[in-house]
Amino acid sequence: MADWTARDVPELSGKTVVVTGGNSGLGFESARVLASKGAEVILACRSVSRGQSAKQEIATRLPDARLRVMKLDLQDLSSIEGFATEFGTHCRRLDVLLNNAGIMNTPYRLTQDGFESQMGTNHLGHFALTGRLLDVLARTPGSRVVTVSSSGHRAGTMDFGNLLFQNERGYTPFKAYSRSKLANLLFAYELQRRLERHGVDCMSLAAHPGAAQTDLGKHIEDEFFMRLLKPVLKRVVQGPKSGALPQIRASADPTVRGGQYYGPDGLFQMSGSPVQVQSSRASRNTHDADKLWEESERLTGVLYRFS
């Protein structure tokens, strides 16, 4: 079977896509490819000016692209609510919600609402956003939610007694990052189970890019061990165009199914063609998924209404 590429994305005219963090990296490449196939793409960005620059860059290559920039700060629940309200006034459908934005290995910080920033941005922000947009997703036949995780989820552990590293207790940048990426998968799989249970015509999928060269790793690129590995990594790390293919496939391939996880097919899933891959046993723990859902609703105040 031939490798799946951006050329395999079907025509998307009439469809509406939201890409969080669509101004750079994997989000930018995803937005560009989906727009090239006729979708109306909303670049949901923390920085409107950077979003406008990304829009202009895509429009230069694709003059007919249907693009819109909207303000979204995943570290601020009020911003998420405002985005969802504004989206509802402009758009009557949402075919794909691509939960792409994220931060990685950052020093200990808190979001606007007092959450540890990596869990707050990567999981809780997207949990709240998806819940706020659930009505329009449910009204759109065959809609999808695609949540971007990472191979780093395999190192993640859930600790519901100290989920957000209260007062920096036990905090290390990678421990928090891997926990947030495990949370992404627990959420994606649990969302699919709940959509099925309530008969909602919407799929939840997940994807990861493997090793991709983006700005996400800027907090670790100067560390000693990364400088040592740099010559090796240059040979295996993909560019963002290749790294974005798993999430693009999950967003657009008509053959995908809810609950699937897409990543590269190469050694250690670091690079290669986008295929369905397996995640860790911890990511499929239904007890943890249910507990995380309960905690996420409590922390964000966003309750999912499926009916």
Question: What domains, with CATH codes, occur in the chain?
Answer: 7-300 (3.40.50.720)
Residues 6+ apart with CB under 8 A from 208: 148, 149, 150, 151, 153, 246, 261, 262, 263, 269, 277
Kindly report, residue by residue over 11-66, the tens digit of the pLDDT: 999 999 999 999 999 999 999 999 999 999 999 999 999 999 999 999 999 999 99
pLDDT on residue 85:
98
Cβ–Cβ under 8 Å, residues 112 and 282: no
User: How many angstroms separate the Cα of 71 from the Cα of each of 133, 213, 258?
Assistant: 15, 25, 29
Please indicate whether residue 177 is annotated as part of the active site.
Answer: yes
Q: Of 177, 189, 261, 262, which residue is the catalytic one?
A: 177
pLDDT-derived band at 267, boundaries 50, 70, 90: confident
Kindly report, residue by residue over 237-253, the tens digit of the pLDDT: 778 899 999 999 999 99
Average pLDDT over residues 112-134: 98
- Quote the CA–CA distance of 212 and 299 in Å, as a whole number: 32
Regarding pTM above 0.75, the answer is: yes
Kindly report, residue by residue over 62-84, the tens digit of the pLDDT: 999 999 999 999 999 999 999 99
